Chain A
């Protein structure tokens, strides 16, 4: 690799003692403006989600047909009481978006947590036991990867029945292979290293080797993949919601809101514009964060 192909990270001033790992990490991470922007947006979305009951101006499910399809406040006929307008049955769009942030974050985090938990264990098992176990697990993952992800999720939800829970399970299964592959690859590189041999010689059992010795050393790629996974999970769950297979109305999930509003696209631009914008910004933020984390955590890109 030549210097020309690398981003030039801000190099910390050399000191007598090496910087604390976190400080070093922040040095690399903060050099990437996009990643910092992503982090800021994510913190903002988290705050909005946590403070939803406080900051939402209205009840997200309160309908009032008298004020149906009110435009945003800057347009004629809009009012500041409903800043982003109202939907076809008079619910406040801003309030629904705010509560939707709770759902989207919950979906992203729960799906990825489930996927990482199962994926890491499968990957560790495949990497440690090799042989038939490995072939079985990895071939299964290959099959899942072969199928277009949303198609597989759609089929699973179609069979299990539409709903937020089933949609989350389906998405978790679809993104599973990435974590299994990462964990297995990391295990295979790590187990040949001296510290694992040392631990093995001093009598550590397989479980201890797997979870106490090897796992902490393959967290970096898993963290990067987790951030990218959250964006995929939010996007796919919203797509399922849009197709009517994910969260069901009147849930203020952003994809479901879009599905509800679809037929009004010709009459009221605001009912479709804002939920999609919310999805785009959140997904973009997690992708930016993931890219920044990869640059900061991937030792291969570091000098």
Chain B
């Protein structure tokens, strides 16, 4: 097991170097003076310009420059925002809980609906339910979620006036951030209505962000279940006279879930992509909206640092999924 963990962990090093190389070179493609871009300041006087040139190592060979950049990144120095002059890392960590909260709710929503739908579709193969689930999930998979969000706003906020249009919580409430997760923070505060306000604000973004993962999970669960239900040991279980429920819940599901776990892991990247669009539609104060705002403000340090951080987070989650996969499936662990 230790050997397995070490191999997997060592595999992410080249990926990490690759992502930093990408971030390092992309910022140099930005039109304009790279020093001003990197320093996050405009109209620097010549003396300071020269000093910054030295500091960033622009008088050094490009490899040394990269080395300087990499060591800064490893120390958590990702530059500072051109607009707010705040360090990129602290802005990111202040906004990231909002994105995680949204992403977690979306994946839970997708699992709660997707797993049962996939399992029932597989058991009742070729039934109307099966065709319905497959049709809906294909539509969900093809959904332009930025449009889906607008349509849900049109239906639930405009027509029925059930949910708020944007934001994370009603402006009436000020909640001291303790964990950064509003659902928890509002519960810790002494205003019960604040919690419901936060929940109401979460509903539409959760559905929008959860749609694509829901479609993928339902499809994947169905096909994994179908595969497993055709195995010999299921026939044996049937021959032993076990109840249908027992066969599905205890024998089939456990093996069918293995590929599903991988798919859920792969959905993390999709979730962050979707979060960028979802947060833009609902003015959700997370890192996705922050990145898009940075583009329009030409705040390149934020773009560079934020993209790098998101890339690293996705990489870390993929690694965890990989390790979890080895944990639940010994066959993976022992083949190198």
Contacts and interface: CB of A to CB of B under 8 A. Distances in A.
Contact of A148 (B30, B270, B303): B270
B139 interface: yes
B222 to A, nearest CB: 11
Contacts of B230: 1-2, 4-5
A287 B141 contact: yes
A148 B312 CA distance: 11
Contact of A140 (B18, B227, B307, B318): B18
Contact of B142 (A1, A150, A258, A283): A283
A4 B143 CA distance: 31
Nearest to B274: A150
Nearest to B159: A269
A243 B146 CA distance: 9
Interface in B287-326: 291-292, 295-296, 303, 307, 310-311, 314-315, 318
Contacts of B147: 242, 258, 272, 275-277, 279-280
Interface string A252-269: 000100100010011001
Interface in B111-143: 138-139, 141-143
Interface residues of A, number: 48
A66 interface: no
B269 A245 contact: no
B29 A265 contact: no
A167 interface: no
Contacts of B296: 244
A284 B273 contact: no
A258 B276 contact: no
A280 B147 CA distance: 9
Interface string A236-251: 0011001111000000
Of listed B144, B151, B226, B303, residue having the most chain A CB within 10 A: B144
Contacts of A243: 146, 276-277, 280, 292
Contact of B15 (A146, A154, A242, A283): A146
| Chief secondary structure at chain A's binding surface | helix
B61 interface: no
A231 interface: yes
Contacts of A266: 158, 165
A105 interface: no
Contacts of A298: none
Contacts of A191: none
B158 A279 contact: no
A265 to B, nearest CB: 5
A245 B138 contact: no
B22 interface: yes
A13 to B, nearest CB: 24
B19 A272 contact: no
Nearest to B144: A279
A204 to B, nearest CB: 35
A84 interface: no
Interface in A140-162: 140, 142-143, 146-151, 154-156, 158-161
Contacts of B237: none
B83 interface: no
Given A155-B26, A272-B154, A235 B292 contact: no
A107 to B, nearest CB: 13
A158 B29 contact: no
Contacts of A5: 226-227, 230
A168 interface: no
A280 B144 contact: yes
B14 interface: yes
B260 interface: no
B95 interface: no
Nearest to A258: B147
Interface string A264-299: 011001001101110110011001100100000000
Nearest to A232: B142
29 contacts: A2-B230, A4-B226, A139-B18, A146-B311, A146-B318, A147-B307, A148-B272, A148-B273, A150-B276, A151-B307, A151-B310, A151-B311, A155-B303, A159-B26, A159-B29, A242-B277, A243-B146, A243-B277, A243-B280, A258-B150, A262-B150, A265-B153, A265-B158, A273-B151, A273-B154, A279-B144, A283-B142, A287-B138, A287-B142
Cβ-closest 3 pairs across A and B? A276-B147, A143-B18, A150-B273
Given A148-B269, A284-B142, 14 more contacts: A4-B229, A142-B18, A143-B22, A146-B269, A147-B307, A150-B273, A151-B307, A154-B292, A159-B27, A159-B30, A161-B31, A242-B144, A255-B146, A287-B138
Interface of A: 1-2, 4-5, 34, 139-140, 142-143, 146-151, 154-156, 158-161, 231, 235, 238-239, 242-245, 255, 258, 262, 265-266, 269, 272-273, 275-277, 279-280, 283-284, 287-288, 291
